[in-house]
Structure formats: C-alpha cells, structure tokens
Amino acid sequence: MPTPSASLDNSGSLPNEFTHSAQGTALRRILGLPALVFFGLVYMVPLTIFTTYGVVTEMTGGRTALAYVVTLLAMIFTALSYSFMVRRYPIAGSAYSYTSLSFGPGVGFLAGWSLLLDYLFLPMINYLVIGLFLNIAFPEVPAWVFVVSTIALVTVLNILGISSVSGMSNLIVIAQVVFVLVFLAMAGQSLFGTPIDFTTPFIGDGTQPGLAPLMAGAAVLCLSFLGFDAVSTLAEEARDPKRDIPRAIIITTLCAGVLFFVLSLVAQLVFPGSVFQDADAAANEVMLKAGGQFLAAFFTATYVAGAAGSALASQASVSRILYSMGRDGILPRRLFGTLSERFHTPTVAILIVSLVSLLAVVIDLATLASMISFGALVAFSAVNLAVIRTHLFDGCPRQPGDLVRYGLIPAIGFALIAWLWTSLSGLTLAIGLGWFAVGLAYLAIQTGGFRRKAPHVQFSEFE
C-alpha cells in the first residue's frame, strides 16, 4: 500500500514518503520499534516522578503510588485510542492531525493549539531544572549559563536529525535504568530488617483524606505520561508506522506506569508520611534516607542527564507538530511548514522552539507547571472523541467487537480524562482557557470570522 502524500503535490504520483509539495523533501523513515519505545521513555523521563513527588505526596496525604494507579488507568484507555488513530492515519501531528481528519481543520487546530501548551513549555521546564541543579553543584556558574548552553546543544542535535535524537535517547534511558536499579537495591538494604507497612502508600497518613485530593494528585501526574503522545508524532519517521507506532504507544505507557508506581511505592516506604522540609526537593530527602550522600549525588547527575534527554525529545516532537500545522497552512507555511533540504528536519520550527525556550532564564517552575496540565488533558479528550467519530460514524458496517473497541474504550478514556480535568486547580484552568481563547481568536482571523474553512492538506489515501 503506498504511503499517502499531500494532494497539493501536482506531480500526479504517490511517492513513498509523506512529501510537502512546497519543497519536495520528506521526513526520513528510519525508526524501528525499539527506538520508538526508547524515545517515548526518555521523553517521559523515568525519574520524572521525583520532580513532582513531594508536591503530589503532600497533595494526596502520602498516596502518590495510588494516584499513579488512577492516572495509569486513564492513560491506558487513552493510549489505546491513540493506537487506533495512528493505524488509520499514520502521519505526524498527533492530536492535531487526528482531530483535523475526524472533525475538520478548525477543531483540529484548536486541539493542536491546546497541545502546543504542553510541548512548547516541556522543553523549558527541563532547561530550567538543569540550570537549577547544576547551579547548586557549581554555584560559581550562573544558572542561565547552563540553561543557554543546553538549549544550544539540544538545538544542534535536533537539526542534525532524528537519528541523533534517537541515539542520545538510548544512552540516557540506559543511565536512568542503572540508577533505578541502584536506588531499589539501596532502598531495599535500608528497609531490610525494619517493620514495613505496605498499606501506607495506599491509605495515606490521614492528612488529606477522601477522593478529591487523590484525583487532584492524579491530574498533576498526567504530565508524566506525555511520552506516549510524543511517540505518535514520529509516525512519518517510523519504518512501519501502522504496526510499530501503536505497539510503541502501549508498551511505553505500560512500562512507564509500572515504573512510576514501583518507584513512588518504594520512596514512600523509605520515607513514610507527607511532610518534607522542602516539597520541591523532597527527592533529596528520600535519596539521603535510602543511600546517603552517594545516592543523592548519583541521583542529581542522572536526573540532569534525563532532563537533557527529555528536552531533546520534547523539542523534536513540538517542532514536528509545528511543521505539520505549517505544512497544512494553518500556521505560516514559510516559517513552519519547511524542511531543511540537507538534514530533512524542520529547522525553522526547531529554532523557533529554542527561542521560546529561552524564557526558562526568567520564568519560575510553578508558573510553567501550571501551564502544562490543561493542554494535555484537552488533547487526550479530543483523541478519544476522534476515535468514536472516525470509526463508528463513517457509514461503514460494524461488527459487535467494533462497538467495544471504537466506542466503549474511547468513551471510558474520555470520561476518566474529563474527571481528571475537573480536578485541576483554578489557576491552571484560567491559564489554559486563556491560551485556548488566543487560539480561537487566531483561527477567527485566519478564517475571516469563521466565514472560510480553515486551511488543511488532504491526504489522498484518507479523503
């Protein structure tokens, strides 16, 4: 079966890769299943649980492990919806592309715009954390020096191509796996011979009882699972996207969810309760309790490397979403919808993301974190609805199993995501709705007050 090309291509042929007709270049199909899984895992950053561990532990009253179970349940249903959509539409753009093809380019733009809130600021959070941690280790060097240097390095690697990103991702995942094994071993040694109450991580310490605090913590933890969405953005660079991308999405989600649960469970057993000297630095208290200064230093080094890898992967993903939206004409095509003829990468989009990331020099972590949750849940909701619209309302006869696969599963996913969405803080909702309003205003301008259809590219195999 030929791979679809944009109908704007006037050559009259169907090339073997998705081609943007403006310059006749294409993203290279070089990624197999292992590389896709590693990309998703490094995007999530296995050690990311320690970024929000103290905050969520305080929020849930010591039930972070249980909150991860709730979040994983919601993510599994949504990951299945992503896998259904990528089998139907193996193209870059993630929630933007799926929603565009299911509900039209206008709704697709708003979904993509909401998702940009995550992708634009995720690299920035990583740069900010790198600057903070390295400044603590080397106080004579200002944090902004580390931030700017890391942005420059990540930008160069992304411009060189996805193979550079993939290779670096593999090394970082391996380093974090080594740390996880060391942490589990030293934590087990510290717990050996002491009485352990395995119910504590599930019932908490009583400081935040009830379901509402648990759901609020689970909503925050959704950010840890953005890696499976990032995998879908590489559909045009996978060798066999219809087979490997769905598998990579499910494998990434399950592996990360189990890992997050185990690490939070062990951390809670090592350091019971929900009271820390500094919630933002609670990971250091856990490491010192589990393995002393050695483990704390090992954690800092591995965490900084993981943050760099996450920045590498997240910048690669957002640049491809911008490229997809520029290629479709919903964003300025000359800026965003072009590929480098030499490297076959969206160079201009990568550079724009790097410029935005420089805000990490002046913005604070709390503000960044509040900007991200909203977009993730909006995009996840849109994809669940897109499965129902695409697979059950296309006029084709359906088998009973299709009603479960394409109806019940995404409906449950949407309900769980909506529940988490209502658990977000008022500040997060305000910022998210403000961002959404800006996107709606931009769309109104582009469509002449919604009198014209939003621009899009038709894919000959799909439409």
What is the pLDDT, as a whole number, of residue 65? Answer: 94
Mean pLDDT of the chain: 80
pLDDT number for residue 92: 65
Question: Tell me, what's the pLDDT at 8?
Answer: 33
User: pLDDT at position 260, please?
Assistant: 93
The pair of structure tokens assigned to 80 is 């299945």
pLDDT in tens, 423-451: 877 777 888 888 889 989 988 888 888 88
Give the pLDDT band of residue 315 (cuts 50, 70, 90). Answer: confident
Residue 16 has a pLDDT of 36
Rounded Cα gap, residues 171 and 283, in angstroms = 23
Q: Is 330 inside any structural domain?
A: yes
Residue 395 falls within a domain, yes or no?
Answer: yes
DSSP string for residues in 364-391? -HHHHHHHHHHHHHHHHHHHHHHHHHHH
Closest CA to 379 of 123, 93, 121: 93
**What's the domain range around 433?**
33-447
Residue 463 lies inside a defined structural domain of this protein:
no
What phi and psi, each to the nearest 5 degrees, are found at residue 443? -65, -40
Q: How far apart are the C-alpha atoms of 121 and 363, rounded to whole Å?
A: 11
Give the pLDDT confidence score for residue 26 in this predicted structure: 55
Cα gap 75→94, rounded to integer Å = 15
- Given a cut of 70, is residue 416 above it in pLDDT? yes
3 state DSSP class of 6: strand
Residue 311 lies in a domain: yes
pLDDT > 60? residue 222? yes
> What secondary structure does DSSP assign to 96-154, as a single string?
HHHHHHHH-HHHHHHHHHHHHHHHHHHHHHHHHHHHHHHHHHSTTS-HHHHHHHHHHHH
CATH number for the domain harbouring residue 411: 1.20.1740.10
Average of pLDDT values for 227-233?
A: 75
Cα-flanking dihedrals φ and ψ of residue 97, to 5°? -65, -45
Q: Is the pLDDT of residue 184 over 90?
A: yes
Residue (of 371, 55, 18, 44) closest to 217 by Cα position: 55
Distance of alpha carbon 339 from alpha carbon 177, whole angstroms: 35
pLDDT of the residue at 396:
67
In this structure, is residue 7 part of a structural domain?
Answer: no
**Considering the domain boundaries, does residue 107 fall inside one?**
yes
Rounded Cα distance between 292 and 144, Å, is 29
Mean pLDDT of 302-317: 81
Q: pTM (2 decimals)?
A: 0.77
Look up residue 408 and give its DSSP letter. I
Q: What is the pLDDT of residues 8-66, one digit of tens each?
A: 333 333 333 333 333 444 556 777 888 888 778 776 777 888 878 888 899 999 999 99
Looking at 8-17, 173-182, 270-279, 353-362, which range is the least confident one? 8-17
112-131: average pLDDT: 82
Does 77 have pLDDT greater than 90? yes
Note the pLDDT of residue 28. 66
Confidence of residue 78 (pLDDT cuts 50, 70, 90): very high
- At residue 229 the predicted structure's pLDDT band, cuts being 50, 70 and 90, is confident
Residue where the block lists tokens 């993509």? 112
Number of domains in the chain: 1
| pLDDT value of residue 167 | 59
Q: What pLDDT, on a 0 to 100 scale, did the predictor assign at position 23?
A: 40
Residue 5 lies inside a defined structural domain of this protein: no
DSSP 31: B
User: Is residue 95 over pLDDT 90?
Assistant: no
Cβ(86)–Cβ(373) below 8 Å: no
pLDDT, tens digit, 9 for 90 and up, residues 343-377: 778 888 889 889 989 988 888 766 676 677 777 88
Rounded Cα distance between 324 and 349, Å, is: 10
Q: CA dihedral in degrees (309, 313, 314, 316; nearest 10)?
A: 140
15 within domain boundaries: no
Confidence of residue 182 (pLDDT cuts 50, 70, 90): very high
The pLDDT, as a whole number, for residue 460 is 41
Give the per-residue pLDDT at 64.
93
